[in-house]
Amino acid sequence: MAKTQIIPPDSYPQMVSRSEAARISRALRSQEAIQHGDHVIEETSQSLREGVRGYVRALETVIGDHRQTYEKAHEIRGFAENAGLAATGRIADGLCGYFDEIEKLASEPDIEVIALHVSAIARAAYAEDEAIRMGNMVAKELASLVRHKLDEAKAAAGD
């Protein structure tokens, strides 16, 4: 059997020395650094929003291709919130969760469920103010639809 070799941290190059590490870590964890970083995210949110909308447009063209839909929904889930599109991210998260659960059940995804999510994602991605609250409500409604559909799929798998 091959030997397992342990290489301790002091035997390979580190990013910084031990004394520097403590100082830099304190600076990185400081409120000042975090607030500054959060401000940077806010500043880039408009350009991120354009990126999310690009993925949304792509998502709308791939309904029916489950693999592509899954990948695009993951991308949207990944950075919609950074773009200030929390409801969009939440609905995309719901769609990703639906795909994950349906895969575990070895069932086919319901095209209606996917289409409803994609439509809601598209609306939420372009929503402003009042409509964002609507987006959150839609996310909740879709989550209960997903639960219902998964219960159906589980019952069918148990038959």
Partner 1 sequence: MPGTGLEALKALIVEDNQHMRALLRSLLGSAGMHAVHEAADGSAALNVMATRRCDLILCDLAMKPMDGLEFTREVRHSKTSTNPFVPIIMISGHTEKRRVEAARDAGVTEFLAKPVTAQSLYSRIAEIMERPRAFIRSGSYFGPDRRRKAAENYSGPWRRQDDMHDLEVR
Enumerate binding residues for partner 1 (CB under 8 A): 1-9, 11-16, 20-25, 27-29, 32-41, 43-44, 47-48, 50-51, 71, 74-75, 77-82, 89, 96, 100
Nearer to partner 1 by Cβ, of 81 and 153: the residue is 81
Nearer to partner 1 by Cβ, of 21 and 156: the residue is 21
Q: Contact 91/125 with Cβ under 8 angstroms?
A: no
Min CB(22)–partner 1 separation in Å:
7
Min CB(46)–partner 1 separation in Å:
10
Min CB(76)–partner 1 separation in Å:
8
Number of other residues whose CB lies within 10 A of the CB of residue 123:
17
Nearer to partner 1 by Cβ, of 58 and 63: the residue is 58
Min CB(90)–partner 1 separation in Å:
11
Q: DSSP for 39-65, please give it.
A: HHHHHHHHHHHHHHHHHHHHHHH-TT-
Q: Contact 59/70 with Cβ under 8 angstroms?
A: no
Nearer to partner 1 by Cβ, of 54 and 64: the residue is 54
Min CB(107)–partner 1 separation in Å:
17
Neighbour-count burial for 36-55, b at 16+ CB within 10 Å, e otherwise = eeeeeeeeebeebbebbbeb
Which residue type is seen at 116?
L
Nearer to partner 1 by Cβ, of 41 and 156: the residue is 41
**Position of tokens 């919609």?**
80
Tokens of 89: 């991210």
Which residue type is seen at 59?
L
